[in-house]
Structure 1
Amino acid sequence: MWNDLCAEQMKYRHTFLGKAFFVAPLLTLLLGIKLSPAYVVLTSFNWWYMFLLPAMLSIVSCSCGEKDRKLGEKAVFTLPVSLKRARLIKIFYCSLWLFLACIVQCILTFVAGQVFQAKYSDTITIFHALFAGVLLFLTYAWQIPLCLLLEQKCGAAATILINMAANIILSANFATEGMWLIPYAVPARLMCPVLKILPNGLPAEPGNITFSPELLSWGSILPGLVVTCLCFILVTEISIRVYERKGMK
């Protein structure tokens, strides 16, 4: 497994993919500081999981799939390598970058909040920040095999647009509603009790638009994780089968 991951990394060491796990969180932090240092914690977290994280995930996943596809998958199909294993390695590789990006972003935002003495930096502790990072990783990971699958069928550009549109529209419209268990809406919903930030970027406090007391319930975390983890298993299996059928042609 380690050798496979190293081989995968060699393909992208001089590309954006090899630096995405740090560049994307850094851009998010700089954006938060630029907009308002006093609200850097709220702004950075909200822009991260609503916009920049799904954008990074879509671009990285599609770029990984596109690189092999442009080569006609010769590096895989002509070797005595299990296609299932090859697909799983790529999913695991992208998942590793997703995890690193989530943790880096949470640490950078927490540190920035302390440096700028930002509002709400006292209520979002390092525990809350890291827990949020782990939750975002777990609830977004299912989109990796989905993007690889869509890229294989629709191409990179179309996949990035489709996935970004689904993330933004469904998160904004359903994360605070009764249909929040739609997989795309789950990450934004879980950030309400953990970070106490609404999908619209406002604090989850009485009086703010879209706020309701049930949004602060930690009871939403387990159902959200179950739904997205099941999606990860299901979409991964579909992605593998489609990839294997392509290899047999």
Structure 2
Amino acid sequence: MEIDYGNIKVIGFDADDTLWVNETYFREAEEAVGQLLSHYETPNKVDQELFKMEMKNLPTYGYGVKGFVLSMIELAIELSAGSVSNEIIGKILDIGKDIINKPIELLDDVEDVLKTLSRDYRLILATKGDLLDQERKLEKSGLLQYFHHIEVLSEKQEPNYQKLLNHLDIKPSEFLMVGNSLKSDILPLINIGAEAIHVPFHTTWEHEKVSKERTDGLKYNTIERLSDILSFIKVK
């Protein structure tokens, strides 16, 4: 799609599954808890009920590993009618700690792209999740030096982005967002008059999926890998 990015001065990047691997670890954790609770329900049913529990708890716990762990524990209590053992609760806690302690696996060409773009553009990181966990991942990633500003949002909706751009004195017409989620990184930005580039990850959390009808007719580009952005964005 022919889109003019000539006015862009600031580029925002999502973090999880745009710069580094994240959802893969949650999928592995879901499989693990499915097996752990298979005495009470089939793994497939556990997976379905866990998603429902996460959605119910989202307004209370927000995004991130901690809320995910609390939802797993609550589900274990519910499915077992309160009889779940301390041993299983301990194993659920270990599943959560394992996610937190995963090494940061950068996606292809991420650092090269950030290094190149940072010479000509202000780069910001706009992600959502648990503040401590996201700060820890960014520190471990070695990418902190490329960003002028870091923002961990409670939600990624139009008001959140508008507030961020206002705070940083950025015009929507001069802002480009890059991310893997159509729901969180693309649609809200287009709706406030900014630009967006979609970089799909091979797996997407159910909560982040949107119907094709919601994206029909919208102007944004989709690229296969982050380095493809350099085909659209001018650099010296």
Provide the TM-score with structure 2 as the length reference: 0.28
- TM-score normalized with structure 1 length: 0.27
The one of the two structures with greater contact order (alpha-carbon pairs below 8 A, sep at least 6) is 2
Higher share in strand: 2
